[in-house]
């Protein structure tokens, strides 16, 4: 046998086998990480068939175990994600993970509806799809994975994760950890699976696999489009470009604090984060001074803004991966500005058609567009949002205007007088999700969206009114 072939064989064997604490080699298929899509999906299918027969109490145990078992690992995962992806802030990721664990709904989200009458009883129940392929982004890698695991397992499914290659290691580790917790609760391995070397090709292979019933895609426009043409049912959580409207009636100091907090959270890589401000002219300068008080750095020099555009937008016209999710101080340093404090976000005045306004930059850069009045601000915000149906925020004390904007902007999340993350249940009422289904319309997804609605009819009985 050739030396190279032998080396490859040994490498594959090492990958396939783990050694347990007793020193006994055991096949790695219990970790949920497989070398091929077929193996992964077939293991998930087998596990789901057994899971489906288990009680709701067992499912509840699974969810509880994920919450309790992931809790002590939050810091470790936050750190590992920033290290691997090079994006975001550890302290913010800790908060996102905590939110996911605390506020992702479980089986209580699966509401049963009953109709009774002279003809008997009709029951509507939410039952499992089977194996779901969940495609996760690099920007909220572990949050999405935990959030999808809780919701999809609560609804009775098994999940095959297609993770972003740029967050592969931390995502695989999360799959392994959650799988252990699921096993402890219900005795089943491989309720969550993924593959060792994720790529665009393996992601496409998963999307077209015959044993997959539903695709839940969290990512940019490319992957959502790819899923839509697969011929399968898709829940698509795509890109956003959330504007924040501020009118002259707003509490300017609070609006400034909220906008800086929302837009700078995890260095703006959240899809829901404020990507631009559209402010009415009378209050623009006071808004800027208030934002400065809350950690924003105001750039007032056109040459510096131009330099920042050249630096952060690549030749292909897309935001440069090098700066996505990086700290504001790094971007400032690279345009020749050094600061001696922790800048949360860089702000500047721009026209409406500026690339920073139009593109989803995913960086701590926040352009401010001036409008003559509220009606113009709303018009600009609608254009900036680009009908992505994602997120918008507004700061105003005028309920008529808030109502008008809420009705016309048609986003999945609309936050009034708060930071964008209030729309994820962080400081706002309601549960959380990291999969906001925008093009397909489910909005803030929870367990019920990962279930099939079935109608079960019994004639001539069980109407006892």
Around 239, how many Cα atoms within 13 Å sit in the side-chain half-sphere? 16
Task: Using CB under 6 A, list all residues that contact ligand NAD.
Answer: 135-140, 162-165, 200, 203-204, 218-220, 222-223, 226, 237-240, 271, 360, 434-436, 438
**What token pair was written down for 71?**
């809790």
User: At its nearest, how many Å lie between ligand NAD and the CB of residue 237?
Assistant: 3
Which is closer to ligand NAD, CB of 148 or CB of 157?
148
Q: Across-strand partners of 280?
A: 371
- Tell me the closest approach of the beta carbon of residue 446 to ligand NAD, in angstroms: 13
Read off the tokens for 223.
């992957």
Q: Which residues contact 377 (CB under 8 A, 6 or more apart)?
A: 245, 246, 247, 278, 279, 280, 371
Q: How far apart are CA 342 and CA 444, in angstroms?
A: 32
Reading the block at residue 211, the tokens are 């044993």
- Would you say 157 or 202 has its CB closer to ligand NAD? 202
Nearer to ligand NAD, 139 or 190 (CB): 139
Q: How many of the other CB atoms lie within 10 Å of CB of 332?
A: 19
Nearer to ligand NAD by Cβ, of 250 and 384: the residue is: 384
CB-nearer residue toward ligand NAD: 190 or 444: 444
Q: How far is the CB of 98 from ligand NAD (least distance, A)?
A: 18
Taking a C-beta distance cutoff of 8 angstroms, is the pair 275, 366 a contact?
yes
| Least CB distance to ligand NAD at residue 390 (A) | 6
- The residues facing 236 across adjacent strands are 217
Question: CA 172 to CA 198: how far, in whole Å?
Answer: 10
CB of 437 to ligand NAD, least distance (A): 7
Do the strands 33-34 and 192-195 form a parallel or antiparallel pair, or are they unpaired? parallel
- Measured from the CB atom, the residue of 182 and 324 that comes closer to ligand NAD is 324
Bridge partners of 135? 162, 217
Given the complex with ligand NAD, which of 59 and 93 has the nearer CB atom?
A: 93
Residue nearest ligand NAD, CB atom distance: 219
Q: Report helix, strand or coil for 279.
A: strand
CB of 223 to ligand NAD, least distance (A): 4
Pick the closer one to ligand NAD by CB: 10 or 200. 200
Residue 318 CB, nearest distance to ligand NAD (Å)?
11
- CA distances to 161, 168, 227 from 143, in Å: 13, 14, 21
CB of 409 vs ligand NAD, minimal distance in Å:
16
Residues 6+ apart with CB under 8 A from 125: 110, 112, 453, 454, 456
CB atoms within 10 A of CB 232: 16
């Amino acid at each position: 046998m050739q030396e190279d072939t032998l080396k490859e064989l040994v490498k594959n064997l090492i990958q396939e086998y783990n050694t347990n604490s007793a020193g006994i080699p055991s096949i790695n298929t219990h970790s949920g990480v497989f070398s091929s899509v077929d193996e992964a999906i077939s293991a998930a299918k087998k596990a789901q068939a057994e899971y489906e027969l288990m009680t709701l109490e067992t499912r509840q145990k699974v969810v509880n175990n994920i919450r309790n078992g992931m809790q002590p690992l939050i810091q470790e995962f936050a750190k590992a994600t920033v290290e691997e992806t090079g994006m975001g802030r550890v302290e913010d990721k800790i908060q996102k993970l905590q939110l996911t664990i605390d506020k992702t709904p479980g089986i209580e989200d699966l509401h049963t509806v009953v109709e009774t009458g002279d003809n008997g009883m009709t029951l509507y129940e939410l039952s499992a799809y089977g194996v779901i392929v969940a495609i996760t982004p690099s920007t909220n890698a572990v949050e999405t994975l935990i959030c999808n695991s809780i919701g999809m397992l609560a609804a009775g499914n098994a999940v095959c994760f297609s993770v972003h290659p740029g967050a592969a290691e931390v995502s695989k580790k999360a799959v392994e950890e959650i799988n252990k917790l699921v096993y402890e609760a219900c005795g089943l391995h491989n309720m969550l699976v993924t593959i060792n070397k994720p790529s665009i090709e393996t992601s496409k292979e998963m999307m077209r696999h015959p044993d997959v019933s539903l695709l839940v895609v969290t990512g940019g426009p490319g992957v959502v489009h790819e899923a839509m043409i697969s011929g399968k049912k898709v829940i698509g959580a795509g890109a956003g470009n959330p504007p924040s409207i501020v009118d002259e009636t707003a509490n300017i100091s609070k609006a400034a604090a909220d906008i800086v907090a929302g837009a700078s959270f995890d260095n703006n890589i959240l899809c829901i984060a404020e990507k631009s401000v559209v402010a009415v002219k009378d209050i623009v300068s006071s808004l800027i001074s208030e934002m400065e008080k809350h950690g924003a750095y105001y750039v007032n020099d056109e040459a510096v803004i131009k330099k920042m555009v050249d630096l952060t937008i690549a030749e292909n016209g897309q935001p440069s991966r090098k700066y996505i999710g990086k700290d504001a101080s790094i971007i400032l340093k690279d345009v020749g500005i050094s600061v001696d404090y922790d800048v949360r976000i860089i702000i500047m005045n721009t026209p409406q058609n500026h690339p920073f306004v139009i593109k989803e930059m995913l960086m701590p850069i926040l352009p401010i567009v001036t409008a003559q009045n509220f009606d113009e601000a709303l018009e600009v915000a609608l254009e900036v949002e680009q009908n992505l149906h994602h997120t918008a925020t507004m700061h105003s004390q005028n309920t008529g205007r808030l109502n008008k904007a809420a009705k016309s902007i048609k986003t999945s999340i609309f936050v009034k007088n708060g930071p964008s993350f209030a729309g994820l249940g962080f400081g706002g009422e309601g549960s959380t999700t990291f999969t906001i289904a925008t093009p397909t319309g489910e909005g803030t997804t929870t367990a019920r969206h990962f279930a099939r609605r079935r109608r079960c009819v019994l004639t001539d009985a069980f109407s006892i009114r």
